[in-house]
């Protein structure tokens, strides 16, 4: 009751591709007993794999599709949040999982905009960093740097994958992007939830207070260099001289990222698919999929992050099919698609 009175608390989870955001969301949902938690998840690519991997009921999870939460589907984020607030079945807490290529700043600002600022309370931005793959120059991505710089709390995750000395070095590199705030070391996102939820760590409010409010209700901060394409319904942004070059480009494409979503109603031949994974182009950094292999009665879940591949098996609960997404830089999407098709049994 008290929570509702001061606005629905919101935690935004950011972090680069494959760093462990969904794993953290599941840790939260499994351990946040007694606190009814809704999740809004936005995925890169046009098929919802995360939504199948999150341990939530359909009722408590909203998937934002067809766009990036930090630019094109910000309106959808507002609407989804309002719908959660309007439900008879009240929730106590909201967790927002962004894509691995989203800038957390515009997402945070959405909760400070006119539609949501009186009904929600941004508690904090949690940034998940992949200890195995993070490097300051990783993909030369400003977005990746912003994910760290704008986080209130950093989880240095996958500590099981690297040596102790590497962790010290990584913390030093994180500190170059972000001077203060806690850095918590985690394996599989396992952290005491009292350290990250309802902690009131969001500190950037003053900076945002200066952000200008546009006629149509979107709030833009000093660093919001993102474009606002289809969903901006043609509003003019001519007065934003400083980021003119970014306009009408997708910020993800502008940084050179590309993705391909592959689906099929036919099974894949296991051997061929194994070879497909081995021969993936160098530019592919992230892959994930729910697979139907001709040789296996089980649902196969695969994750690729950098050079690490993980395969899990579960029992099918719906119709069998293949869904996979591959994300990276400078790879030939058509060639990958052709190779995928050749794996179909
Ligand atoms: N070894 C190890 N693997 C981890 C850890 N945390 C997550 N993973 C694995 O890393 C892979 C990616 O994890 P996700 O939680 O899906 O990552 P994500 O950040 O949600 O990925 P995107 O949404 O695609 O950006 C999965 O195979 C996880 O099981 C960890 O602490 N150690």
Q: What is the pLDDT of residue 201?
A: 85
Segment 91-105 shows an average pLDDT of 94
Q: What is the pLDDT of residue 33?
A: 86
Q: Which of 51-55, 119-123, 156-160, 255-259 has the lowest mean pLDDT?
A: 51-55
Contacts of 275 (CB under 8 A, 6+ apart): none
Protein residue with least CA distance to atom 1, ligand 1: 158
- Distance in Å, CA 22 to ligand 1 centroid: 7
Q: What is the pLDDT of residue 234?
A: 31
Segment 138-160 shows an average pLDDT of 93
Q: What is the pLDDT of residue 303?
A: 96
Provide the total of helices (H) and of strands (E) in the chain, helices listed first: 11, 14
pLDDT at 219 exceeding the cut of 50: no
Q: Which sign, positive or negative, has the C-alpha torsion 108, 113, 116, 121?
A: positive
pLDDT tens for each residue of 166-175: 999 999 999 9
pLDDT tens for each residue of 267-305: 999 999 999 999 999 999 999 999 999 999 999 999 999
Segment 197-225 shows an average pLDDT of 55
Q: Which residues line ligand 1 (CB under 6 A)?
A: 15, 17-23, 50, 100, 157-158, 160-161, 187-189, 286, 288, 303, 305, 310
Neighbouring-strand partners of residue 212: 220
Q: Closest by alpha carbon to 327, among 61, 12, 50?
A: 50
* SS3 state of residue 137: coil
The answer to whether residues 15 and 132 touch, using CB atoms and an 8 Å cutoff, is: no
Q: What is the pLDDT of residue 172?
A: 96
Domain ranges of the chain: 2-213, 257-342
Residues 264 and 307: their CA atoms lie apart, in Å, by: 25
Q: Which of 41-55, 136-150, 240-254, 318-332 has the lowest mean pLDDT?
A: 240-254
Segment 139-165 shows an average pLDDT of 94
Residues 107 and 69: their CA atoms lie apart, in Å, by: 7
pLDDT at 237 exceeding the cut of 60: no
Q: What is the pLDDT of residue 2?
A: 43
The answer to whether residues 94 and 198 touch, using CB atoms and an 8 Å cutoff, is: no
Q: What is the pLDDT of residue 50?
A: 82
Segment 337-345 shows an average pLDDT of 95
Segment 241-249 shows an average pLDDT of 36
Q: Residue 206 — pLDDT band, cuts 50, 70, 90?
A: low
Q: Closest by alpha carbon to 344, among 239, 261, 272, 245?
A: 272
Question: Which of ligand 1's atoms lies nearest the C-alpha of 161?
Answer: 1
Instruction: Outline where DSSP puts E strands in 133-270.
Output: 153-157, 183-185, 212-213, 219-220, 257-264
- Distance in Å, CA 233 to ligand 1 centroid: 36
Residue 88 or residue 96, greater confidence: 96
Q: What is the pLDDT of residue 202?
A: 85
Q: Closest by alpha carbon to 326, among 313, 335, 316?
A: 335
pLDDT at 240 exceeding the cut of 70: no
Residues 327 and 210: their CA atoms lie apart, in Å, by: 36
pLDDT at 314 exceeding the cut of 70: yes
Q: What is the pLDDT of residue 54?
A: 87
* Residue 253 to residues 49, 101, 227, Cα–Cα distance (Å): 21, 10, 12
Which secondary structure element, helix H or strand E, spans residue 41, and what is its range?
A: strand 37-42
Give percent of the chain above pLDDT 90: 66
Segment 246-268 shows an average pLDDT of 80
Q: Which sign, positive or negative, has the C-alpha torsion 213, 216, 219, 221?
A: negative
Residues making up the chain, counted from first to last: 345
CATH architecture of 257-342: 2-Layer Sandwich (3.30)
- Distance in Å, CA 128 to ligand 1 centroid: 10
pLDDT tens for each residue of 1-50: 344 456 999 999 999 999 999 999 999 999 998 899 999 998 776 677 88
ipTM above 0.95, yes or no: yes
* Residue 116 to residues 16, 80, 81, 109, Cα–Cα distance (Å): 26, 11, 8, 10
Which of 16, 18, 96, 102 to probe ligand 1 with, by most ligand atoms within 8 A of CB?
Answer: 18
Average pLDDT, the chain: 84
| Integer-rounded Cα radius of gyration of the chain | 20
Residue 333 or residue 56, greater confidence: 333
Q: Residue 204 — pLDDT band, cuts 50, 70, 90?
A: low
Looking at domain 2-213, its CATH class is alpha beta
Contacts of 241 (CB under 8 A, 6+ apart): none
Q: Closest by alpha carbon to 171, among 184, 186, 158, 189?
A: 184
């Amino acid at each position: 009751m008290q929570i509702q009175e001061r606005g629905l608390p919101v935690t935004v989870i950011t972090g680069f591709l494959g760093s462990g955001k969904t794993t953290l969301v599941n840790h939260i949902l499994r351990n946040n007993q007694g606190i009814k938690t809704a999740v809004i998840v936005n995925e890169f690519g046009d098929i919802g794999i995360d939504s199948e991997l999150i341990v939530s009921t359909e009722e408590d999870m909203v998937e934002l599709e067809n766009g990036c939460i930090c630019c094109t589907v910000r309106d959808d984020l507002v609407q989804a949040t309002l719908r959660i607030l309007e439900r008879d079945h009240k929730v106590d807490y909201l967790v927002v999982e962004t894509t691995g290529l989203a800038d957390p700043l515009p997402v945070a600002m959405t909760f400070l905009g006119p539609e949501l600022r009186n009904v929600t309370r941004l508690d904090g931005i949690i940034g998940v960093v992949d200890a195995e793959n993070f490097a300051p120059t990783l993909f030369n991505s400003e977005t990746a740097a912003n994910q760290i710089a704008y986080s209130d709390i950093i989880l240095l995750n996958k500590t099981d994958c690297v040596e102790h000395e590497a962790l010290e070095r990584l913390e030093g590199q994180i500190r170059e992007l972000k001077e203060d705030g806690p850095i918590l070391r985690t394996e599989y996102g396992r952290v005491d939830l009292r350290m990250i939820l309802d902690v009131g760590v969001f500190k950037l409010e003053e900076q945002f207070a200066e952000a200008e409010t546009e006629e149509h209700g979107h709030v833009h901060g000093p660093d919001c260099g993102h474009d606002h394409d289809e969903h901006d319904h043609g509003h003019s942004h001519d007065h934003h001289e400083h980021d003119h070059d970014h306009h009408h480009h997708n910020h993800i494409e502008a940084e050179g990222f590309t993705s391909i979503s592959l689906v099929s109603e036919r099974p894949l031949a296991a051997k061929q698919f194994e070879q497909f994974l081995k021969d993936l182009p160098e530019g592919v950094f992230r892959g994930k999929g729910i697979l139907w292999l001709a040789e296996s009665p089980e649902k196969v879940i695969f994750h690729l992050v950098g050079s690490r591949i993980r395969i899990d098996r579960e029992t099918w609960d719906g119709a069998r099919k293949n869904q996979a997404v591959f994300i990276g830089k400078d790879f030939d999407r058509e060639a990958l698609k052709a190779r995928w098709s050749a794996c179909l049994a």
